[in-house]
Amino acid sequence: MSLMRDSPPSPSSVRPPSASDLPPLKCMLFIDGTWLYYSLYHRQSSAKQAASNACESTFGPGWTHTHKVRWDRLPGIIADAIKGQENKQQWGTGGDRQVEVVRANVYTGYKQGTDPQSNRVKMFEGMRANKFDVHLEATNGHSEKCIDIQLAVEVGIGLGAEATGGDEATTLCNIPQSLTT
């Protein structure tokens, strides 16, 4: 009995690669921390702002005293969203390819002397405690243009890695209700 085959395998015995045969799709998250902060918390309380604030309209005024944002869940929620898009749009695998968030970058700034007990400081410390790479700059006045530029450059670098053979994906997602408890 020979281990070598004299003829190529028949087409019916060759199966196309499935999603389980492929390495996970890797993605990096680039988060505008200031935009995210003001999407969750707003500066002034008003009926119009409360109606436009998803957390306040879902959990009620004072939601920060009754609920905690689970930053550890955010990468998994985004990975599931990407996986769902991949399955829906059939980006070449036609299957259930896994998605792995390899890095979560957050870019923000706030004034030196900001109260350490403020929602803003607590939010970014919570992200840092959950292994997000928080890029924090001290701001003077109301401008964060340098932070916006830093975020744009880092996204460009991440996309450049993908164009040169990396397998990173960039996505913008809304935060679903399942992120809070």
| pLDDT value for 165 | 52
What amino acid is encoded at 152 in this protein? A
What rounded mean pLDDT belongs to the chain?
Answer: 75
The three-state (H, E, C) secondary structure of the chain, written as one string: CCCCCCCCCCHHHCCCCCHHHCCCEEEEEEEEHHHHHHHHCCCCCCHHHHHHCHHHHHHCCCHHHHCCECHHHHHHHHHHHHHHHHHHHCCCCCCCCCEEEEEEEEEEEECCCCCCCCHHHHHHHHHHHCCCEEEEEECCCCCCHHHHHHHHHHHHHHHHHHHCCCCCCCCCCCCCHHHEC
Percent of the chain with pLDDT over 70: 62
Lowest mean pLDDT among 3-7, 23-27, 111-115, 157-161: 3-7
**Is the pTM here over 0.85, yes or no?**
no
| pLDDT value for 106 | 92
| pLDDT value for 72 | 94
| pLDDT value for 8 | 64
Q: How far is CA 150 from the centre of its chain?
A: 17
Work out the pLDDT band at 96, boundaries 50, 70, 90. confident
| pLDDT value for 160 | 65
Select the more confidently predicted residue: 11 or 107.
107
Select the more confidently predicted residue: 137 or 96.
137
| pLDDT value for 169 | 43
